[in-house]
Amino acid sequence: MRDDNCIFCKIANGEIPSATLYEDDDFRVILDLGPATKGHALILPKEHYPNLYELPDDLAGKAIVLAKNMIKKLTKALGCDGYNVVQNNGEAAGQTVFHFHMHLIPRYNGDDAGFGWKVGELTEEDKADILDKIEKSV
Ligand code: 5GP
Ligand code: ZN
């Protein structure tokens, strides 16, 4: 499955050149053009799925195993101190390219990548509301 208007389809399938760190039948791993830190990479499936909801289970499983193996290998190569594995779904969550991808972001002690969230509080009201909504939705 391909989308002719999708830049990541073209990159994943080698029609547009990219700095490729790894490739197999299902995935290409490339360096991000707008890196959060040195070595920021993206895992791209070769087939087009807009987001995690649409990704078949077998590819979802392979993607997380690939993420694990890549960050182990890259930690040795780059000498980084940690990794964020980030995956955005939907505009509200910061997704800008609508072809499933996983960000592998090396972290270095003291780096200023600075993404995260403002820590809130789980109120009793929210807890009850969430559990109730989930129960009603199944
Ligand atoms: P998203 O915000 O959708 O989770 O992430 C999209 C990522 O793709 C961004 O980090 C952006 O820098 C990267 N990106 C967008 N276009 C290109 C491109 O043409 N080549 C590469 N290597 N990265 C891209
Ligand atoms: Zn695509």
- Residue 75 has a pLDDT of 98
How would residue 114 be classed by pLDDT, with cut points 50, 70 and 90?
confident
Pocket lining: 95 vs ligand 1, CB cutoff 6 Å: yes
Neighbours of ion ligand 2 (CB under 5 A): 3, 6, 8-9, 48, 99
Distance 53 CA to ligand 1 centre (A): 19
- Residue 38 has a pLDDT of 98
**DSSP-based three-state secondary structure for 103:** strand
- Write the pLDDT tens digit of every residue in 2-17: 899 999 999 999 999 9
Q: Are 10 and 16 in contact (CB under 8 A)?
A: yes
- Residue 1 has a pLDDT of 82
Greater model confidence, 69 or 115: 69
Q: Are 46 and 27 in contact (CB under 8 A)?
A: yes
Q: Are 99 and 33 in contact (CB under 8 A)?
A: no
Question: Which of the ligands is closest to the CA of residue 93?
Answer: 1
Distance 5 CA to ligand 2 centre (A): 8
- Residue 138 has a pLDDT of 81
- Residue 74 has a pLDDT of 98
4, 77, 128 from 41: Cα distances, Å:
23, 13, 39
How would residue 116 be classed by pLDDT, with cut points 50, 70 and 90?
confident
Token pair recorded at residue 105: 């972001």
- Write the pLDDT tens digit of every residue in 26-79: 999 999 999 999 999 999 999 999 999 999 999 999 999 999 999 999 999 999
- Residue 54 has a pLDDT of 98
